[in-house]
Homo-oligomer: A and B are copies of this chain.
C-alpha cells in the first residue's frame, strides 16, 4: 500500500455521436479534475463513442484502435502535463479480427509508450438485448491484475465484471487497494418505471459488497444520457463517416444511461454519490491506511478457506442426486 493519500476523480460524462468531440470533452473534464486536485482519474467505459453495442454492425469495428494508439497519445499528453494517473476505457484493435474492451492505465511516472503503466482486457463479456458485446469483444486473456502506479496499486475491471465476486477478489488478492469500474449501464426506457430502481440498487449493492468483502475502495464511473448509438468518426482516409444507430430514435427506444457513479470505502460506505441527471466530477480523498484498519477489524482475508474453494472453477456442481 502507498503511504500517501490520493485524491480520486470519476468523470461522469455524456457521450455525443462524434468521437473527436468526446475525446476533446474527456480531456477537458480530466484537466478540470486535475486542476481541482485530483491525482487518480477514471473515465467511463468506451467514452470515445456512444454505446454502439446496441446493435451488431461490422462497420463499427472502424471505431477500434491499437493501444498504444491515437487515444493514448492524446490522453498521455494530458497525463504528462497534469502529472496525473488516468484510467481510460478503449475499444482495442489487437490484430485484424481480434478486438477487446480494454482499460489502459496511464501514469505520469511510467516509462511506457504514451505513459501506459498497464492494461486490463475485460474478462466477462455480456450479451443481452441492446448490449451485444459478444459480437465485438473477445474475452480478455490477461486475467485479473493489480497495476503499480504512482498512486499505489490499482485494479481496473470493466462494467459486466462488476457482477462477479471472483473478479473483485482476484484483483484485490493481486494487491490492488482501489478497484475502478468504468461502466456503461442504463435503463431500457420501457423497463425503467417498473425495474429502474431495483436495477440501480442491485448494481450499487453488488459493488459495495466487493468493497466490503475485500476491504478495498471501489470507484464506479458510468456515462449518462439517452443514446441511440449514433456514431460519427473519421475513417482511415480522414473522411467523416456517419453510422446511424438502430431503431426509430424515439424516447421509447435506445438506452438511458443512468449515471449514478459512486465511490465506496473499504466498509462499503458510499462516500461520493453522483446524480442520474447531469455530468459531474465525483471526487474523494482515499486514505490507504483505512484499508488496513478495516481489514484488521473485519479480518475476512484471514479466515478464507482456501482449502475448500477449488470448485469455483466449475461451471456448475452437478450431482446424480440433483432434484
Which A residues are within 8 Å of any B CB, using their own CB? Answer: 1-2, 123-126, 128, 139, 143-144, 148, 152-153, 160, 163-167, 169-170, 173-175, 198, 201-202, 205-206, 208-210, 212-213, 267-269, 297-301, 303-317, 319, 321-323
Contacts and interface: CB of A to CB of B under 8 A. Distances in A.
B164 A317 contact: no
Contact of A305 (B139, B309, B311): B139
Max chain B C-beta neighbours (<10 A), residue from A148, A213, A319: A213
Contact of A323 (B2, B164, B267): B2
Max chain B C-beta neighbours (<10 A), residue from A139, A166, A173: A166
Count identical subunits in the complex.
2
A205 B209 CA distance: 6
Contacts of A312: 166, 169-170, 306, 309, 312-313
Given A124-B303, A174-B317, A322-B153, A205 B164 contact: no
B304 A164 contact: yes
Contact of A174 (B153, B198, B208, B319): B319
Contacts of A305: 123-124, 139, 164, 166-167
Contacts of A206: 209, 212-213, 268
A208 B212 CA distance: 12
Nearest to A199: B267
B170 A311 contact: yes
Nearest to A163: B300
A155 to B, nearest CB: 11
A24 to B, nearest CB: 34
A321 B148 CA distance: 8
Given A175-B317, A301-B316, 15 more contacts: A148-B321, A153-B322, A164-B300, A164-B305, A170-B308, A170-B317, A173-B311, A175-B319, A202-B212, A205-B205, A205-B209, A206-B209, A209-B209, A209-B213, A310-B310
A134 to B, nearest CB: 9
Contacts of A202: 212, 267-268, 298
Contacts of A299: 128
24 contacts: A1-B323, A128-B299, A153-B322, A163-B298, A164-B213, A165-B166, A165-B209, A166-B305, A169-B312, A170-B317, A173-B311, A173-B315, A175-B317, A175-B322, A201-B268, A202-B212, A205-B205, A205-B208, A206-B212, A206-B213, A208-B209, A306-B313, A310-B310, A312-B313
A296 to B, nearest CB: 10
A175 to B, nearest CB: 5
| 9 pairs of A and B residues whose beta carbons are closest in the complex | A209-B209, A165-B165, A174-B317, A173-B317, A312-B312, A202-B268, A166-B309, A163-B300, A306-B313
A313 to B, nearest CB: 5
A136 B322 CA distance: 34
A143 to B, nearest CB: 5
Given A174-B317, A208-B205, A269-B198, A144 B308 contact: yes
